[in-house]
Amino acid sequence: MCGIVGYTGPKQALPLLLTGLHTLEYRGYDSAGVALQTETGIRVVKSKGRIKTLEEKLAGVPGMEGTCGIGHTRWATHGAPSDVNAHPHCAQGGRFALVHNGIIENYRDLRHELEGDGYTFLSETDSETVAHLFDKLYCGDMAKTLAAVVRRLRGGYALAVIAQDRPGELVCVRRDNPLIIGLGDGENMIASDIPAILPVTRDYIVPNDEEIVHVTAKGVTFTKLDGTVIDKTPLHVDWDISSAEKGGYAHFMLKEIYEQARAVRDTVSPRLQDDLPQLEEYGLTAELFRTVRNIHIVACGSALHAGLGRQGRHRESGAHSGHHAGGVRIPLRRPDHHERRSVHHHQPVG
């Protein structure tokens, strides 16, 4: 999974971009890069390897100062891990820079079209195709141009673009890939996940698929592809950033293993009354469970084994219990009139 982060506001963007990229390392990556709007135009620095390698490279690059920029960690899909294939990618002439997460399914057709228009490709990626397409379709309005680009794309993706002649602006969009918008006070961020925005804000919005997001320091606008403005309700992060960091553990999996007892306690305790679970607010009433005749456990790995351990207890209640590996199509027979209800119990991959 690639990671995306972007910032616009009064502060120097580069430190916030690098901090955000570090919080997204858990997603896995083989290269990293940043693009900044500077006084001399868009400056891009990218490198194969860890973010530390990128930071060492940046230390020798003067002029990386600006208050609006985007950053990226790449997991190679189209083209080998390399400096050239790393993101951000620039449109021909360098007036736009783009970061991309996901797959552009029709990139070969688009690349052939753009090469016919005189665009020269430097990388093997599908992402560079979108940068050149944005340049070709640019109408002077970032949001309208991105909407025009989206109409030409097939696949799942998250995209973010900055322009040389639109200081302090960035636009982004998602389709079947994660992207959130962090809402600060006179500054705003975008990112693939919440931890990346926490140094700036705890308020955020998750755009729906194909909603065009126009971000400046003063505010954020959401529109449909036809330009219709959409009202959005912000959400608030109420957990501490330490919850999203390794906290001294060698890796996140080890941290999650040791945190299981606390996670279960924190989840169950607020929902206990007289030592019994109270789940009515979720529609899980005693009456519902008295009518259940089928229980389907859907899980993977250790979670599936944990579910198997519950099958005996389910059967003691008189319900039929079955287990299924997650990701596998489950053929379920149609229940007859005696089988009034079924419960599907999904457990996370473990």
Q: Which of 238, 269, 302 is the endpoint of a domain?
A: 238
If one counts the domains in the chain, the total is 2
Q: Which of 192, 219, 238 is the endpoint of a domain?
A: 238
pLDDT band, very low/low/confident/very high, at 238 (cuts 50, 70, 90): confident
| H or E segment to which residue 180 belongs | strand 180-183
Q: In which domain, by residue range, is 279 found?
A: 244-346
Distance spanning both ends of the chain, measured CA to CA: 18
pLDDT band, very low/low/confident/very high, at 307 (cuts 50, 70, 90): confident
Q: Does one domain contain both 278 and 334?
A: yes
Residue-wise pLDDT for 168-208, tens only, equals 999 999 999 999 999 999 999 999 999 999 999 999 999 99
pLDDT at residue 232 greater than cutoff 70? yes
Q: Are 70 and 170 in contact (CB under 8 A)?
A: yes
pLDDT of residue 258: 78
Considering the entire predicted model, what is its pTM?
A: 0.75
pLDDT at residue 308 greater than cutoff 80? no
Pairing state between β 170-175 and 212-215 = antiparallel
Q: Does one domain contain both 75 and 196?
A: yes
- Residue 294 or 132, more confident: 132
Strand 212-215's sheet: what is its strand order? 89-90, 96-104, 155-163, 170-175, 212-215, 220-223, 229-230
Residue-wise pLDDT for 83-119, tens only, equals 899 999 999 999 999 999 999 999 999 999 999 999 9
Q: Does one domain contain both 41 and 155?
A: yes
